[in-house]
Amino acid sequence: MSGQDRRVYLLSPRTLSPETIAVAFAKTSRSPESFDVIASALSEEASAQFHERWVVGYGHASVAEHAVLHIALENISRLAIECIESNRLASYTEKSTRYQMWDRTAFVVPAEIRNASLGNLYRQTCELLLDTYLASLAPLRKVAQSAFPREDGESEARWDGRIRSRYVDVARYLLPSAVFANVGVTLNARSLEHAIRKMLSHPLAEVRDIGEDVRRVALQEVPTLVKYAQASPYLSRLAQTKPGPVKDDASGGANSEALGPAGGVFLRHADAAAEARALAAAVVRTEGLAYSQALRAMENSPERRRAAAQDLLGEMGQWDHPSRELEHVTYSVEVVADQGAYFEAKRHRMLSLTSAPLTCELGYVTPRWMAEANLLESYRRAMDAARGAYQKIAHENPALAGYVVPNGYLRRFLMTLNLREVYHLCELRARPNAHFAMRVVALHLAELVRQVHPLLGSWMRLEDLPDWESLEADYFLQS
């Protein structure tokens, strides 16, 4: 083989440590040698010295992106998960509240409240919520069975497997944020360093402790790259929240914007002219025109806009992502949705997310099946008890009070996202196999986007789906 033949090969983590792989890649910047030759000359000690000098000392932080870790976290609260999953450049898979069930002891008792006067109230509230959750499963299962009858020749187990998410999707409204979660995280050492700093700066002791644990286990794999991660006063200050009572109506706007039974989706910022700009960008790519010339062409001619849009999106297959030019069109959207839906929305890493603290101040939603299963009274009792506990705990420690807030309570969040991410989110989350609360958000968002950008919005693959209002009415009662 000559030195000029093409070579494609792995630097395998089975034989090289993550830090050594990162150095082997980093050294290609100055060394004429091939990667495997560079790697064979490296020891873990030499790699550590390289990172100390270049990544830590000199600030060449992107090198750390080549050291990738897989971290397993178990029996942490869903509230703690919010901080862990706030890192964009990472991958997560977590235990599903749609397909798995929790027992009455499966919740975190945070150190701050363990021996405090409110400790008993905290435990009793979580137990009440979990007892009500467990007691709701059988009646909700009956409702699911009559809605989705057993098919010919279907075993009991198979039938239950087919309909389980339908009734667990409703029962999960009772789960407080204190319940245990497991999450597998894959991320590189650069992201991890920031993730640890954020965790160590968090107002909750549980999250800070997880940050210490994550740093401890990460040091076994990347002894240099996360060694200096520590709490930041700036991040600590940003993480402080002071949730207060909501003074305006929950939507924060005029009565015409009042929340519906599932909350609401409000398009706060969008620019109708952005459609022409994205199409002009596409023409720059295909025709090489100057942007101003392409933009003039798009602004002056509806026919040219239609043709450019057809060119850009018309040939998309079922699994194709729309072209990047859609990223030139952005929206800011305020959403008020239940905490379960928020928890799913926050997984969309491409969007910019700002969320209000988790509180009981916006009220809670009531899934229609709670009434059909004759569970309204116990559901409301549990939700009201959670609110009472929330208020008492919030009086002493607002951040801590979030632990007792169940999935059914509404959460306010703001998403700024581009049209390409709108396509992804709406198409994925509007599908019949997605949770119904998230489907309402996705379908509503798609409608708002299509109103402002009818041309570029029209290729979203949402055929044969219900409109969000009928879905909302099917699944939620007006509280």
Residue 297 Cβ, how far from ligand FAD at the closest point, in Å? 31
- In the bound state with ligand FAD, the residue whose beta carbon lies nearer, of 28 and 91, is 91
| Least distance CB 424 / ligand FAD (angstroms) | 5
Cα distance between residue 415 and residue 76, in whole Å: 26
- The CA distance from 340 to 430, in Å, is 15
Residue 416, token pair as written in the block? 């700024």
CB neighbours of 38 closer than 8 A, spacing ≥ 6?
23, 24, 27, 28, 31
Q: How many residues bind ligand FAD (CB under 6 A)?
A: 14
C-alpha 417/C-alpha 320 separation (Å) is: 19
**Residues near 137 by Cβ (< 8 Å), separated by ≥ 6?**
101, 167, 168, 171
Per CB under 6 A, the segment of 346-354, 358-366, 367-375, 405-413 that binds ligand FAD is 346-354
Residue of 348, 368, 380, 392 interacting with ligand FAD (CB under 6 A): 348
Region near ligand FAD per CB under 6 A, out of 102-110, 359-367, 427-435, 444-452: 427-435
Please identify, using beta-carbon distances, which residue of 97 and 125 lies nearer to ligand FAD: 97
Nearer to ligand FAD, 132 or 191 (CB): 191
Residues 6+ away with beta carbon under 8 Å from 2: none
Which lies closer to ligand FAD via its Cβ, residue 91 or residue 300? 91
Asked if 349 is part of the footprint of ligand FAD (rule: CB under 6 A), the reply reads: yes
Q: Is 96 in the site for ligand FAD (CB under 6 A)?
A: yes
Task: Find the shortest distance in angstroms from Cβ 96 to ligand FAD.
Answer: 3
Distance CA 417, CA 150 (A): 42
The verdict on 347 binding ligand FAD (CB under 6 A) reads yes
**Least separation, in Å, of the C-beta of 85 and ligand FAD?**
9
> What are the CA-CA distances from residue 284 to residues 7, 288, 290, 308 (Å)?
35, 5, 6, 11
CA 184 – CA 470 distance, rounded (Å): 36
Closer CB to ligand FAD, 285 or 348, in the complex: 348
Find the distance separating the first CA and the last CA of the chain, reported in whole Å. 73
Least Å distance, CB 281 to ligand FAD, is 19
Residue from 40, 43, 91, 301 touching ligand FAD (CB under 6 A): that is 91
Residue indicated by tokens 């109103």: 451
Binding mask 384-423 for ligand FAD (x = CB under 6 A): -------------------------------------x--
- Contact between 350 and ligand FAD by CB under 6 A: the answer reads yes
102-110, 260-268, 344-352, 399-407 -> range binding ligand FAD (CB under 6 A): 344-352
Nearer to ligand FAD among residue 94 and residue 213 (C-beta):
94
What residues does 188 pair with on adjacent strands?
Answer: 68
Of 160, 442, 459, 92, nearest to 311 by C-alpha is: 459
Q: Which stretch binds ligand FAD (CB under 6 A): 93-101, 189-197, 303-311, 398-406?
A: 93-101
Give the nearer residue to ligand FAD in terms of CB position, either 85 or 275.
85
Long-range contacts of 144-149 (CB under 8 A, 24+ apart): 144/369
Chain centroid offset of residue 467 CA? 24
Residues in touch with ligand FAD (CB under 6 A):
91-94, 96, 347-350, 421, 424, 428, 433-434
